[in-house]
Chain A
Amino acid sequence: MDLSNFFSIMRGEIVLAAIILILLLAEIATKDKEKVIHLAIGLFLVHTVLGFFGVGEGVLFGGMFKTSSLVNMFKNILNVGVMIVLFQSAEWVKSKLKKNERVTEFYILLFSSLLGMYYMISAGDFLMFYIGIEMASLPVAGLAAFDLYQKRSAEAALKYIFLAAITSGISLLGISFLYSASGTIFFDELKPFMTNDSLITLGFLFFLVGLLFKISIVPFHLWTADVYEGAPIGVTSYLSVISKGASAFILVIILFTMARPIMELWREVIYMLSILTMFIGNIFALRQKNMKRFLAFSSIAQAGFIILGMLSGSQLGMSAVVFFLATYIFSNLGAFGVVYAIANQTGKEEMDDYNGFYRTNPLLSVLMMLALFSLAGIPPVAGFFGKFFLFMSAASVGYYWLIFFAVINVTISLYYYLLVVRAMFVRKNDNPIPAFKSDLYMKIGLILPAVGILLLGLYSPVYEHINELVGMFLK
């Protein structure tokens, strides 16, 4: 193996692993844990910036590990998302320090999980894929339980780990079926075997379960609301954005490359799941009063839209999904950021607590409004473009009735997003949340999504760049 090639292709993974090691050493070496926070954020910032400069493309370990410029770009998107999560969670981590709780582990677990996602989306065979997906989900259970003295935090972790284990098991069973039918676990070699053979079909559908669980597609969504509510907000936003984004990304890659020969089969599955997910996510979101549960159900509904874009199986479809994921990361992190900032300062998480929020904290309210409009798909913010392109992709293969159901869901979702806008802007409150100032990290963590929400859609070169990379990838 050519070593320089290795360093070039896996640079992101190596740097991230090095960061994890440095943090471990720092935990041992220093007593002033506040420095660890700055160190972790600083190192990851360097890593994020480095990611934008020429990471190599190619294949390693005999085809187990594959990258392309599209995968690298998506790693960059994930990095930016994690960067925002880090900025937003700094305040909360500091509050842990005051209670003499441990903090370094938070960063170590978070980065390990991200490293797992890197492996997952660069996978060239099922082995690497499985290592990645497990490596991504095990640390999350630790993260979900990070509020050590809160029952519901531990409950969230248990729920997540149990259900993740079960779905991983089903997934693994599917992989073994595929292997027994074809004799290979490499995606490229499997492709010719993908036919309507019943073992292959069954194996593939079982395999999908693991990913659909991560994206929280109905009927694999039952963990979402409880885990989102119980876990610390930083972990929730990580789960709803980064974890979901990476899983959706590898799902679209597998569907569009390895499973292309059985497109007719998975189209039907995705079609039904998309309708189910949109309706159930939206209908359950209508009556949520807790902001975290509310965003949990909204993110289930968004997952329905994401897989709707995959139906076309074309370049347009893949570009639309990747672009939508990028806009979704910024919009959802914007919304979670505001919830986070409020919870840090006041401990309030209920929608009614937000009444009259605009009059005391106008900037945060405006950001929340932009983020929610982006999630709902209102122009001119980014989410509109993302959603419009998803619908375009479904329309390109003639699924007009599905789009009709989807636009009904857009209207339903607008209702509950407007409830939050109503609470903040319209409702009066004798005892509103007082005006507060967050720390510098939080401010950066809120400005970044705001910029993304405002620019990503209107500034068309972003989409064109993604489209170009997707074109190269599918060729």
Chain B
Amino acid sequence: MNILTLLVVIPALTILGLIFTKGYKQARLLSAVGMGLQFVATLYLVYMYFQARGAGNTDEFLFEQNLVWFKSLNIHYHVAIDGIGVLMMLLTSIITFAGVFASWEVMDLAKEFYIFLIMLAMGVFGFFIAQDLFTMFVFYEIAVIPMYVLIGIWGTGPKEYSAMKLTLMLMGGSALLMVALLGIYFNSETAAGLHTFDMQELSKMHFPFAIQKFFFPFAFVGFGVLGALFPFHTWSPDGHASAPTAVSMLHAGVLMKLGSYGAFRVAMYLMPEAAVYFADFFLILTGFSVIYGAFVAVRKTDLKFINAYSSVSHVGLILFALMMFTKTAFTGAILQMISHGLMTAMFFGLIGMIYGRTHTREIHKMGGLMKILPVISATYVIAGLASLGLPGLSGFVAEMNIFVGAWENPNLLNRVFSVIAISAIVVTAVYILRVVGVLLMGPLKNPEHANLPKVKWFERVVIILLMGSIVGMGTMPLWITDTIREGLVPIMEKFVH
């Protein structure tokens, strides 16, 4: 079987298996085994990929599988992957595997929880390998819809409201996307005189500017809703705050990247001239989300809200970098997808661990946790430092590339917004360090917190997986950067005239 298809089949089989499990112990064990297998298979994919590249295979996409699905409409099940996709798959796999352990103590309807969680992951895996826009769209919606149930049943706080808001906004985004996909399809023509959804064929075509101008906003905003594009980001703080730990991890970690990845690989790649045409407009919006998210995070006192708004700011940085149209900035955008995915999953994982013990997320009701929960607290500090861009950790690599790349664009507006966006780093430092100061340092505020349970083995797994990846990416950035730059070559051809 094709290795990429295998990566969709493993989650699907895990879901099927889960239906027949009884009790939460069986369910979580099967999920861990299934997602463990998935993790191993993804590592094997990475190995195979570099093997093939090392052997001198210079095809743009590898491991291709192309099956006809709806013949009369020229819809295919077409999967293939390039370097960028391999990295995204690896990221998804790490976070999903960690997510299973982060939800180790879910006992209420555990079977259903894992079914929906893994369905979400399956959608994401499928999305990153899809080369046919129809296939991609199917996986995209499969990834979004389980969120409703996941937040609705296992969430906290105003969960019904958050779940509904999130689902409707994301599905509204995908509805816009559908208009764009149909527009692309009916304006395409292959050598055989057919319309096509195939991205590789579409990328070789040139759409008239009027067409691009009409459909680019649909596609970019459609994906942008999921990528927390201002002003369509409002689902994200509510959704993340109400979602259970693993769902926040997966959602902020990888699902939001679907938005920026799609905006890049579909909207901008297929309609490059319109992308340049609308660049200033979206630059202002994304620049605004970068700075706005950071400032709101400063004012919030709920840990999950802080992290959710910080996500708005950091994910905004991805779209911001995409609007710079330089290779370095694009590289930075992809790096930021990976880096932010790992960091935010780590944060949400840690917040889940803290909340599970103290039953509060208000930072002012806690204090001095460093002495009681040293492992969790230390990890929180490191993740925080990564988030504000300390060299040696993943955040630095990404932000460095983004800002250097942004400065390469000599346009005045871009320069201005680069300066504004860079200043957001300082604000990031404020809210990160404030949390560290109030929550972790200082005297113990609540005497009931003196005897909190120590970190458990499954929590260690989460920490080791994610922390290892953050440090690994920060200390060995070059092989990732090289892989990304390789994948960017055909994309850059669209933007250099």
Nearest chain B CB to A388 CB, angstrom units: 7
Instruction: Closest A residue to B138 by CB, please name it.
Output: A379
Are A407 and B178 in contact, with the CB atoms below 8 A? Answer: yes
In the complex, what residues of A have CB within 8 A of residue B176's CB? Answer: 404, 407
Cα–Cα, bound, A3→B71 (Å): 40
In the complex, what residues of A have CB within 8 A of residue B73's CB? Answer: 316, 389, 392
Are A403 and B138 in contact, with the CB atoms below 8 A? Answer: no
Interface assignment of B153: CB less than 8 Å from any CB of chain A: yes
Interface assignment of B209: CB less than 8 Å from any CB of chain A: no
CB within 8 Å for A414 and B152 given contacts A395-B183, A400-B214: no
Interface assignment of A384: CB less than 8 Å from any CB of chain B: yes
Number of A-B contacts (CB under 8 A): 82
In the complex, what residues of B have CB within 8 A of residue A400's CB? Answer: 179, 182-183, 214
Interface assignment of A464: CB less than 8 Å from any CB of chain B: yes
Cβ contacts B134-151/A at 8 Å (1 or 0 each)? 100110011001001100
Are B70 and A404 in contact, with the CB atoms below 8 A? Answer: no
Cα–Cα, bound, A190→B73 (Å): 33
Cβ contacts B57-88/A at 8 Å (1 or 0 each)? 00000000000011111000000000000000
Interface assignment of A426: CB less than 8 Å from any CB of chain B: yes
CB within 8 Å for A378 and B152 given contacts A410-B175, A418-B167, A422-B160: no
Cα–Cα, bound, A389→B134 (Å): 11
Within 8 A of A (CB), among B112-144: 134, 137-138, 141-142
In the complex, what residues of B have CB within 8 A of residue A415's CB? Answer: 164, 168
Are B70 and A392 in contact, with the CB atoms below 8 A? Answer: no
Interface assignment of A169: CB less than 8 Å from any CB of chain B: no
CB within 8 Å for A388 and B149 given contacts A379-B142, A396-B186: no
CB within 8 Å for A403 and B160 given contacts A380-B138, A414-B171, A464-B71: no
Are A395 and B185 in contact, with the CB atoms below 8 A? Answer: yes
Cα–Cα, bound, A421→B168 (Å): 14
Cβ contacts A372-415/B at 8 Å (1 or 0 each)? 01000011100010001101100110101001100110110011
**Residue of A384, A396, A421, A425 touching B138 (CB-CB under 8 A):** A384
Cα–Cα, bound, A404→B183 (Å): 11
Interface assignment of B172: CB less than 8 Å from any CB of chain A: yes
Cα–Cα, bound, A389→B172 (Å): 18
Interface assignment of A160: CB less than 8 Å from any CB of chain B: no
Are B182 and A391 in contact, with the CB atoms below 8 A? Answer: yes
Are B148 and A395 in contact, with the CB atoms below 8 A? Answer: no
Instruction: Closest B residue to A407 by CB, please name it.
Output: B175
Q: Chain A residues in contact with chain B, CB under 8 A?
A: 316, 319, 373, 378-380, 384, 388-389, 391-392, 395-396, 398, 400, 403-404, 407-408, 410-411, 414-415, 418, 421-422, 425-426, 460, 463-464, 467
A sample of 15 cross-chain residue pairs with beta-carbon separation below 8 angstroms, ordered by A number, consists of A380-B138, A380-B142, A388-B134, A392-B73, A400-B179, A400-B183, A403-B179, A408-B172, A411-B175, A415-B168, A421-B148, A422-B152, A425-B149, A425-B152, A426-B149
10 additional A-B pairs beyond A403-B182, A426-B160, beta carbons within 8 Å, are: A319-B72, A378-B141, A403-B179, A410-B171, A415-B168, A418-B148, A421-B149, A422-B163, A464-B70, A464-B71
Sort A-B residue pairs by CB-CB distance and give the 9 closest, nearest first.
A407-B175, A395-B182, A426-B152, A379-B138, A411-B172, A467-B72, A460-B70, A379-B141, A378-B145
